[in-house]
Structure 1
Amino acid sequence: MTTTKAPIDWTRLTAPSIDDFDLMAKDAFADLPEEFRKLCEGVVIRIEDFPDDETLDEMECESEFDLLGLFRGHGLAQGASSMQTGQFPNMVWLYRRPILDFWAQQDDSLGAIVTHVLVHEIGHHFGLSDDDMEAIESAAR
């Protein structure tokens, strides 16, 4: 028995919105190994279209498309064990438009790229090596 797949109506497709990215990031985070997620307690994940001008200047970016994500805060690698009064929570930003632009140049799925950026930025919180982060990504697949 042969089944045919209905063609995709490309005329109705739109780019994933910030809300779509938020859902992708939550799904990507939920797929990470449980012991890793437990260590991330309190990390806030934000989705923005682009980094702000101050961040672009600070990170010495030539273009608003140069930065896919960013971790800000006091990670475990810096010895942060508890929040200080008035201190912002540890935060990870994922930048939608630069990620979409990067995706257009890759063979990976958008979900895989969102997971990669998320793990990479959270990895800064822990001071992980690239090999450690790759192992976490592999466990999430």
Structure 2
Amino acid sequence: MNAHSEPGRTDPFEDAIDNTLSSLPANLRAAMSNVEIVIEDEPPGGQRLLGLYRGIPLPRRNSAYGGVLPDKISIFRGPITRLAAGDENRLRAEIRHVVLHEIAHHFGISDERLIELDRY
């Protein structure tokens, strides 16, 4: 996932993303279509983001969808690492939360609906 990783060394940030993805039910992973997940150092333009989904959510795709670049989920290492403040458990929990949040956008779930779901 990260082209900057050294051979033989594991990246805890990347591992947390991989663990989150592998914890998803197989049918949900299979339903993820034409999407890539990347780690970036910081969000664009100084925005206050932990992650960002860019693309066409699955429910909005129609028969004209095709031949397009993959949707992109960016997970921002800097802001998440600062938020975790050296706590490895919190780092893993924050990464999991952000990855699942951005995957939800891929499936067409809005921020408003995610907030509503989190209240229950």
**TM-score relative to the length of structure 1:** 0.62
Q: Deviations over 1:77-131 (max 9, x none)?
A: 323567533x220110000010111222989621121111001011011122327
Classify 1:109/1:46 alpha carbon distance in 2 versus 1 (closer, same or farther; 3 Å): same
Determine what percentage of the aligned residue pairs are the same residue.
33
Aligned partner of 1:41 in structure 2 is: 33
The one-letter code matched in structure 2 to 1:113 is E
Aligned-partner Cα distance in 1 for 2:69–2:49: 21
- Secondary structure of the residue aligned to 2:98 is helix
Aligned partner of 2:114 in structure 1 is: 130
Q: Kindly report the root-mean-square deviation, in angstroms, between the aligned alpha carbons of the 2 structures.
A: 2.8
Q: Which runs of 5+ in 2 are unaligned?
A: 6-10
How far off its partner does 1:68 sit? Answer: 0.3
For the pair shown, the structure with the greater C-alpha radius of gyration is 1
Q: Does 1:67 align with 2:49?
A: yes
**TM-score relative to the length of structure 2:** 0.71
Aligned partner of 2:71 in structure 1 is: 90
Corresponding residue pairs, total: 106
Residues 119 and 133 in structure 1, CA contact (< 8 A), matched pair in contact too: no
- Secondary structure of the residue aligned to 1:71 is strand
Aligned-partner Cα distance in 2 for 1:107–1:81: 44
Runs of 4+ aligned structure 1 residues displaced above 6 Å come to none
Aligned partner of 1:5 in structure 2 is: none
